Every structure is written in structure tokens, then in C-alpha cells.
Amino acid sequence: MDTTSKKLAEDINRLKTARRALIVAHNYQRPEVQDVADFTGDSLELSRIAAQTDAEVIVFCGVNFMAETAKILSPAKTVIVPDPNAGCPLANMVTPRQLQEVKDRHPGAVVVCYVNSSAETKALSDICCTSANAVQVVKSIDRDSEIIFVPDKSLGDYVSRRSGRELILWNGYCPTHHRILPEDIEARRREHPEAVVIVHPECLRPVVDMADHVASTSGIVRLAKELDACEFIIGTEIGILHRLKKEAPGKEFYAASRLADCPNMKLNDLPKILWALEDMTNKVELAADLIERARAPIEKMVAIG
């Protein structure tokens, strides 16, 4: 960190203690934001960690649906976001009205909701999933049941092929992951022929099919540390490279595409974290009945393992 960032980090840590706050940062956040956080990880992982602590305030450095999930799991805690404009295009590709219309056309269908979705979408769903456990969740559903999978069609396609289940896919996608193209993988492999390719299942099908491993963000970190390889081509948002380099020193990591940079994730920075702690602004507010309805599909997911 430069001198300014170090001073900001010191002020943040001082206020964090005074506010009894916990700072969590998603794997895609700016390096300096990851460095000031108490925990770095994927969205549900961070929400569950925060719920298990005695912190009174959760500063969630990610995008809005992640902070909502933290509030759902910790309704008694104050959850704040450094920048309330940090939305998620994928989560915004489904609205409650649209989802209800599809449910009405498929009465009795089970709605599997990727955790990358709003609280309202979760509340209309039967069970949630993460990119790590989506296949397991779908396999747990009765084979006679129709399944609506929202909102990510690329993850849904991956899950359908791995589970052998036909899914009704929502037409949503992550713009950042879809910027990673097959020609990017080919180019990186020519540059680094010994590198292992690990990609996120939100990527396009041809990219997924070219990979040596497909994994969630936490899975990518685990594989990078466990595998014997010394070089890796990483097909997900480039913010994760900072964590990989910290946790697997001595190994080399290359972005599949430098275009896989989510501008929404990068809206949070150190000054905004400090301001949020100073003024206790940008609190996540969810109605009690919405929290109760959105929590149920998360708990159902957790119950199956």
C-alpha cells in the first residue's frame, strides 16, 4: 500500500474497533479493499462467517445482493455497503414479476435460485444454490419435478449437463464472465503451455469445455493451492488474482482475459469504507417478512449439505 492507503487503512481499523464492525470483501474486490478486510471469500461464505461472529456491524464490500444476503442471515446486525450503487447486472436480469409469470406457466415447478440474485428473487424461490453446490442441489430434487433455474443460463447449462437434468433456464448471464472467449483461452495456452486452466461456470459453454477444471471462486483458490502445477490460467473476474498470489506464493497466475473486470465490484474503495463507518450510512434495510421468505430457500440449501 502507498502512504495514503496505509493512513486510510489505519483510520478504518480504528473505526472498525469502535463500531464493533467486521469488514468482509468478495474475491473480486480491489486489492487494497481485500487487504483491509477481516475475511475475503465468496458471497455466501462471507455472509455465513459474518453471522457467526459477535460483530454488531457488517461492512460488506461486494455488490448489493451480497449485502442483502448478509442481512438475511444476520437480521439483528447492521449491514452497510461502502457504495450503494454497486449493483449486479446478472441479479438485475430477473424481476419478481417476471419470475412469478414463469412460475404461473409452470405450476408445481421447483425454482432453484442462484445466490447471485436479489432478496425478492430468493423469496419467490424454493431453494438456493451456489456455483459450488448447484449440481448437488439440482440432483436432490425429485426427478418428476420441473425445475426453473434462475438467473444465470451459463451456470444453468453447466448444471444441466453435469446433473443430467433438463432445466428451464432463465435468459440471464454475467457480462464480465461472458467477456472471456475461447480465443482468449487458446491465446493464453500458447503463451503458457504448461499452465492449468481453471474457469468459473458462469463462463460461456465453449470456454467451460476448454478448461482443465471448472470451479467457484473459493474452488479456484483451493485448487490453486492444492494442485502441483506452478502456472494457472484463471477464467473469472480478475480481482481474484490478488488473493491467489497472496495465498499461493511462488506460483504464477494469468488472467484468461483482462477484460473480465467488473466495474460494479470495483466501485468500493478505502475512502468509501471509511466514510461508511464514520457516518454509518448506506444501511441495508429489508422488511422482516421478506427476510423470513428469502431465508427459507437458503436454509433448505444448507440442509442438503
Fold designation for 91-173:
Rossmann fold (3.40.50)
Whether pLDDT at 265 is above 80:
yes
Over residues 182-194, the mean pLDDT reads 98
Of the candidates 153, 244, 149, 258, the residue with the CA atom closest to the CA atom of residue 204: 153
How much is the pLDDT for 2? 81
Whether pLDDT at 305 is above 80:
no
The residue ranges of every structural domain in the chain are 3-87+265-285, 91-173, 177-255
Superfamily of domain 177-255: NadA-like (3.40.50.10800)
Query: Does 3.40.50.800 match the CATH number of domain 3-87+265-285?
Result: no
**In this prediction, what percent of the chain has a pLDDT beyond 70?**
99
Kindly write down the DSSP assignment for every residue of 107-149, as one continuous string: TT-EEEEESSS-HHHHHT-SEEE-TTTHHHHHHTS-TTS-EEE
Distances (CA, A) of 214 to 30, 135, 207: 24, 12, 10
pTM of this structure:
0.95
Q: Do domains 3-87+265-285 and 177-255 have the same CATH topology?
A: yes
